[in-house]
Each structure stands twice: as structure tokens, then as C-alpha cells.
């Protein structure tokens, strides 16, 4: 690798690699703590979350939410013409949202005094990093400590490598110019579910294929089954306990053999195949072995405070593994920076991390599911309340779904909270605080909730657990 002209070595207290939710949060916190910080980013500021993940996905989902509301306008007494969907315009709007947020991150980092270095980081040792642009070393950094926040990428399956035309990932799905007539979505996790719902509402005939017995297999069973029923009513075909084999690309699309537990074997075809089978960490190409950083199964190995096998290097976010969520990366940033500054941070408890899926109805959860709690030895008491009984849900015309709360029968403490329904993601803040504070069923039930709000369903679920 060539060095461009003469490159001097810049010295920093902390180098941050990657500008996603974890990376830019870490850089900001460290700068505010008085450290001299640089942030190295090879792409657009904001990482996958801002540019090709959370933000553009939610912007597009909002577009089809508006479309669906327009289609139902007559039921609300609103007389309107027949709406149509312009995917190109929706994508353009989503990219404008992305650009605004990316510029905001740049401004905030600059204001905090963080030096942004554009290029790809390559370790030469635990403290030395070359920054490569266009195949040449454009900058050299010596950092007392480094936080790796390089994020993740879509996992690839043998024989299903994306070509950007017939076999795509969620990244390509966020930038299509036309709505495909049909699509197979392989993977019933959060990304697959959100993409299936979006394209179904946009007018695509969608078949969602999941290997496990139900979609969102890591969520509480009652919640994922409720979403599956809502998808069926919306015309989304979800095939669970299924495998996709013998995938063949042709000029009109893809064809494959679908094996499912319930329906046996059949041939299936679609214009596009979207592969959404998980994420692996971005651990390759930047010399982790030179820095003495250990990896395992595609992720960087760390201890409870995000420290790697190299004592001065930390890893946070998707590249660290665990729950692959933006807000988890941000929480880990706070832990890593505190440890880098010599503090003793409290390790992150993954049961306290909320999870959200932004389909319609949306799904939100935190803590343990009912069966998960029982497997850990708890005697549980559950409470349920249907949104169909909510005055606000009826006023909105969105009746699907429920809130399910899981309590420890011994002391009444909340072990897990789960919801599926319109607006359920906006309830997770209260439930997360309740988990954090060890709130009991009695305390939740006795808390006055404003009427009419969807949050009343939380109180009613707690009352149900108490037998009221």
C-alpha cells in the first residue's frame, strides 16, 4: 500500500472507528469528557443506521402508513380520491431525511471538537492506525485508546449471494425505483418483517419465509402469533418452519423449492428475493490481528465493559455482537468511554434493552417472555389486555393486538413486557422505566394513566395479572 505524499502522524487520546449510533455517541461523550478525539469513517456519517438502516426504513414505512390511512379515509368520513403510491418519491423523501440527519451528526461532532478523518482505518499496532483513501495512506493516527464501532453487514448464505438485481438485501430494497409485482422475503426477523409489510402495502405480493416455527421467533409467542394473524388478514403470506432451496435466477425473477412443515414441498417464484437472515460484524479488512484484537464467529470478543483482548481497545455496537440494535450501541458507547476514562461502568444488562419492530401493527418488548422466564426458574403471573377494548384504539380504528406483562409471582416484580398493536412502540418507554425500577403489578395498576390513551392498556394488563 502506498503512502500519499508525506503523511505526518496525528496524536489523539482516543480514536473512534465508525460514525454510527455507537461511534458518534462515543466520540461526543469522550470529547465532552476532555479527551482529544478523532473519528474515522470510510462512508457517510451516521453509519448503517442513519444511511441504510433505521432511519430510511422508518421514513419509508411512514409513507405506506400514510397510503394505508388514505385508503381507509372513507371510514373516517373523509372523501378522497383513490390514492396511488409513488415509490421513487417515497425513496427520495427517505434520502432527504437521511441527508438531514447525517449533516446534523457532522455539525454536532464539529461543535464538540471531534476531528473527522474520512477513510478506512487499518491498524498497524494497538496504538497506530493508518487511514486509507483510494488505495493510499492518506493519514496516520496514534491513539492511546481506540473504540471500534464498525457496525455490521447483511449475512450472506451460500447460493443466495445478492446480485443487486434479482437477489437483494435490505439496502437495495430501500432504493428500488419501482414496486415489484412479487417478492419472496427470506427471514422473519425484524428486518424481514418490516420489509415484507412495507412492500405488501406498496402493492407487492409478498411471501415471507421463516425457518423457525413462527415469525419474530425471539419474541414472546403470544406476540409473534398475534402479528402473524394480522399479517394474514393484511394478505401477507407467512410460511414458517420452512426452508428455501434450489434458488434459480432467470430473466423474469427467481424460482425456488419451498419446504415447509405444514405444506410439504412446492415450487415458488417471484420477481425479487430479499435475503434478510441476520447480520455479521464488520471485522475484516482493518488489521485487527495487528492490534491483537480477538474475534469469534464474525464478532469482536469483549468483556463486560466492552474491552477487547487488547487492553487499550474497546468494541461497541453490532461488531460486538449480542442484540444488534442502535440504542444498544449508544448505551455501550457510554460504558466504553467511562472505562476508557478510568471509571468503573456498570455492565449492560441486555434484559433492560427494549426491542421494537415497526410494521403495522408494531411490536415492542423488553425483558423476559413468559416461557423464557419459566425456563429461568421463575414462577410467573401474566396479565393481558386487548387493544380492542381501548377507547383510543377504537377511535383510531386500529384494534389488533394486545399488551402482555410477565411478573414474578413471588414479589410481583415486572420481568418482561410485550406489546403488539398500533403505536405499541411508543409504550416501551414507560415499560422500560418500570423494568429499570423493579416496578410491581400493584404499582403499575395503581398508576393513573390518562384517558383516552393507548397506555391505559398497560394498566389494564397489570390489573388483569392481579385478577382485578
Known catalytic residues are 451
CA dihedral 182, 154, 420, 180 (to 10 degrees): -10
What's the CA dihedral at 13, 19, 24, 25 to 10 degrees?
-110
C-alpha span between 425 and 3 (Å, rounded): 49
| Residue 362, CB-side half-sphere exposure with 13 Å CA sphere | 17
Cell 423464557, residue?
372
Identify the bridge partners of residue 145 per DSSP, sorted by sequence position.
14
Provide the grid cell at 186. 427470506
Question: CB–CB of 357/190 below 8 Å?
Answer: yes
Strands 237-239 and 242-250: unpaired
Amino acid at each position: 500500500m502506498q503512502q500519499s505524499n508525506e503523511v505526518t502522524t496525528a496524536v489523539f487520546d482516543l480514536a473512534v472507528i465508525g460514525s454510527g449510533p455507537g461511534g458518534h455517541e462515543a466520540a461526543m461523550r469522550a470529547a465532552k469528557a476532555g479527551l482529544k478525539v478523532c473519528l474515522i469513517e470510510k462512508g457517510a456519517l451516521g453509519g448503517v443506521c442513519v444511511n441504510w438502516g433505521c432511519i430510511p426504513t422508518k421514513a419509508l414505512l411512514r409513507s405506506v402508513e400514510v397510503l394505508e390511512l388514505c385508503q381507509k379515509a372513507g371510514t373516517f368520513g373523509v372523501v378522497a380520491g383513490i390514492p396511488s403510491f409513488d415509490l421513487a418519491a417515497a425513496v427520495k423523501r427517505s434520502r432527504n431525511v437521511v441527508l438531514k440527519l447525517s449533516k446534523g451528526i457532522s455539525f454536532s461532532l464539529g461543535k464538540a471538537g471531534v476531528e473527522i478523518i474520512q477513510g478506512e482505518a487499518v491498524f498497524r499496532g494497538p496504538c497506530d492506525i493508518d487511514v486509507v483513501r483510494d488505495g493510499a495512506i492518506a493519514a496516520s493516527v496514534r491513539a492511546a485508546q481506540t473504540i471500534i464501532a464498525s457496525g455490521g453487514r447483511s449475512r450472506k448464505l451460500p447460493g443466495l449471494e445478492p446480485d443487486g438485481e434479482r437477489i437483494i438485501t435490505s439496502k437495495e430494497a430501500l432504493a428500488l425505483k419501482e414496486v415489484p409485482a412479487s417478492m419472496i422475503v427470506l427471514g422473519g426477523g425484524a428486518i424481514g418483517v418490516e420489509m415484507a409489510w412495507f412492500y405488501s402495502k406498496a402493492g407487492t405480493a409478498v411471501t415471507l419465509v421463516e425457518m423457525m416455527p413462527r415469525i419474530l421467533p425471539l419474541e414472546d409467542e403470544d406476540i409473534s402469533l398475534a402479528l402473524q394473524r394480522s399479517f394474514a388478514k393484511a394478505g401477507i403470506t407467512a410460511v414458517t418452519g420452512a426452508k428455501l432451496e434450489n434458488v434459480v435466477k432467470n430473466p423474469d425473477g427467481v424460482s425456488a423449492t419451498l419446504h415447509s412443515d405444514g405444506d410439504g414441498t412446492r415450487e415458488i417464484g417471484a420477481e425479487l428475493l430479499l435475503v434478510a437472515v441476520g447480520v455479521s460484524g464488520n471485522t475484516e479488512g482493518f488489521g485487527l490481528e495487528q492490534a491483537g484484537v480477538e474475534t469469534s464467529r464474525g464478532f469482536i470478543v469483549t468483556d463486560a465493559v466492552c474491552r477487547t483482548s487488547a487492553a487499550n481497545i474497546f468494541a461497541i455496537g453490532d461488531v460486538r455482537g449480542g442484540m444488534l440494535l442502535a440504542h444498544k450501541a449508544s448505551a455501550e458507547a457510554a460504558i466504553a468511554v467511562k472505562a476508557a476514562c478510568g471509571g468503573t461502568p456498570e455492565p449492560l444488562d441486555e434484559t433492560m434493552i427494549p426491542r421494537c419492530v415497526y410494521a403495522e401493527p408494531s411490536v415492542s418488548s423488553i425483558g423476559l417472555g413468559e416461557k423464557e422466564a419459566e425456563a429461568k426458574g421463575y414462577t410467573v403471573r401474566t396479565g393481558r389486555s386487548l387493544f380492542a377494548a381501548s377507547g383510543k384504539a377504537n377511535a383510531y380504528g386500529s384494534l389488533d393486538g394486545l399488551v402482555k406483562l410477565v411478573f414474578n409471582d413471588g414479589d410481583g416484580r415486572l420481568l418482561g413486557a410485550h406489546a403488539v398493536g398500533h403505536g405499541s412502540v411508543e409504550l416501551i418507554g414507560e415499560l422500560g422505566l418500570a423494568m429499570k425500577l423493579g416496578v410491581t403489578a400493584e404499582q403499575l395498576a395503581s398508576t393513573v394513566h390518562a384517558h383516552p390513551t393507548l397506555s391505559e392498556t398497560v394498566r389494564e394488563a397489570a390489573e388483569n395479572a392481579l385478577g382485578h
